[in-house]
């Protein structure tokens, strides 16, 4: 017996041909033998969120998700496997002014709802045993260009760098033939480790198979980058695989080395003092105090480390700042409103932690946009973090505030 979480309820069922048959929820006369026969035809569904219309009706493949001929941007989507054969869909969206988002997998949201931000391109692939017998083909319908060519196996469908909205994606599932040419796949993820702990170079790899669907060992993959597990920071690592006529596929991961407990004690002093100053400031305007949220402070510390590589509200991998919350298990995009303040100031070795915090707070108070963030009435939770690094050849302090509206 196995258990799955379905609509916040734990349901028991039996594992059958790599899928879940939930007898207590499925009212049908279909026998187990008929269920087994259905595994010959894997099925998938897709749902699109588009400009002016919101979420459209869920459709099974082969289908078109989105709209054609209405000049409406595709803003978000999710894809779902019915799992007649064991396997998941992985997919990724490239958003305007953000870049490639984190990878989504089987029924996870890709894109952003509520910001009027266009998807410009997507990448899709099958993961698991299903990819040995089938492949998903897809193409994008782009503003002022129409339908682009069919692609498969994690190739980009759409455009990047042209500020053109993707309006629809057409998908179809095809059974592989012996004559079909298979593209290798290499997909990696970001990883977090603690200072002084060991780093496994294989851990970031999600999918790595060659043209024959055989697993690639680390010896077959070229790794460019270094990770110093003794020094807190963010380390980019690029995994590459060469095949065919000098063709190369690659995937980039960010390895976060998190601070030790001793460093976190200094952080804690700074967090408490910054929260005290912010709540004191809000009280002057008769605003309710913000609650201390450890998870938000952890996210703020990591964002402060990232600022050394890319100072701005986009992360080093091009995604929006809130995606780091998703890596930490914070569903910030779904549960409420999130604001971020960032700052960089010179580092002075003779300056204490509280004095540093006061300097940062003064900088935010005297900036109209940052001050407005701290005085936004709907926020009710707070996190703060800082990082000692270098900027333009000088030692500095990078700092981040996260202000969050937790929906009740």
DSSP state of 72: -
- Please determine whether the domains at 185-258 and 261-406 fall in the same fold group of CATH: no
Work out the number of other CB atoms within 10 angstroms of the CB of residue 83.
Answer: 19
Q: Containing H/E element for 122?
A: strand 119-127
- Its CATH architecture, for the domain 261-406, is 3-Layer(aba) Sandwich (3.40)
H or E element that contains 294: helix 294-306
DSSP H/E element including 20: strand 19-21
Q: Divide the 408 residues of the chain into consecutive groups of 10 and give the mean pLDDT of each group.
A: 33 34 30 37 81 91 90 92 69 89 86 92 87 87 89 90 91 72 82 83 88 84 91 87 82 82 68 94 94 89 89 86 76 71 91 90 92 93 92 91 83
CATH number of 185-258: 2.60.40.10
Name the residue ranges covered by the structural domains of the chain.
43-175, 185-258, 261-406
pTM: 0.46
Task: Please confirm whether the linkage preceding 62 is cis (ω < 30° from 0).
Answer: yes
The whole-number pLDDT of residue 3 equals 33
- 77, HSE (Cβ side, Cα atoms, 13 Å): 36
């Amino acid at each position: 017996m196995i258990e799955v979480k379905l609509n916040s309820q734990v349901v028991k069922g039996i594992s059958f041909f790599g899928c879940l048959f939930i007898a207590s929820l499925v009212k049908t006369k279909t026998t187990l033998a008929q269920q087994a026969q259905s595994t010959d035809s894997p099925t998938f569904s897709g749902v699109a969120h588009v400009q002016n219309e919101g979420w459209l009706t869920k459709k099974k493949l082969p289908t078109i998700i989105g709209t054609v001929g209405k000049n409406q941007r595709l803003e978000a989507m999710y894809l779902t496997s019915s799992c007649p054969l064991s396997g998941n869909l992985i997919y990724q969206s490239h958003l305007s002014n953000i870049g490639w988002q984190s990878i989504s997998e089987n029924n996870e949201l890709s894109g952003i709802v509520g910001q009027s931000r266009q998807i410009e391109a997507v990448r899709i692939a099958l993961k698991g045993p299903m990819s040995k017998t089938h492949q998903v083909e897809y193409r994008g319908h782009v503003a002022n260009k129409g339908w682009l060519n069919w692609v498969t196996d994690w190739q980009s469908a759409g455009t990047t760098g042209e500020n053109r909205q993707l309006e629809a994606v057409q998908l179809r599932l095809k059974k592989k033939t012996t004559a079909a040419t298979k593209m290798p796949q290499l997909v990696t993820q970001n990883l977090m480790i603690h200072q002084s702990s060991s780093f496994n170079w294989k851990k970031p790899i999600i999918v790595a198979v060659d043209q024959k669907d055989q697993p690639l060992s680390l010896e077959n993959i070229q790794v460019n980058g270094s990770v110093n597990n003794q020094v807190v920071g963010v380390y980019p690592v690029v995994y590459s695989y060469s095949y065919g006529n000098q063709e190369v596929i690659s995937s980039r991961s960010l390895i976060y080395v998190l601070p030790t407990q001793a460093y976190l004690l200094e952080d804690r002093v700074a967090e408490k003092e910054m929260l005290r100053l912010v709540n004191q400031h809000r009280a002057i305007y008769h605003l309710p105090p913000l609650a201390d949220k450890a998870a938000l402070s952890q996210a703020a510390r990591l964002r402060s480390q990232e600022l050394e590589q890319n100072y701005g509200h986009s992360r080093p991998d091009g995604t929006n700042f809130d995606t780091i919350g998703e890596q930490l298990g914070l569903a910030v995009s779904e549960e409420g409103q999130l604001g971020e303040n960032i700052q960089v100031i010179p580092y002075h070795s003779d300056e204490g932690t509280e004095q540093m915090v006061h300097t940062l707070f003064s900088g935010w108070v005297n900036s109209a946009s940052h001050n407005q963030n701290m005085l936004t009435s709907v926020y009710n939770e707070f996190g703060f973090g800082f990082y000692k690094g270098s900027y333009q050849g000088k030692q500095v302090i990078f700092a981040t505030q996260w202000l969050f509206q937790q929906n009740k």
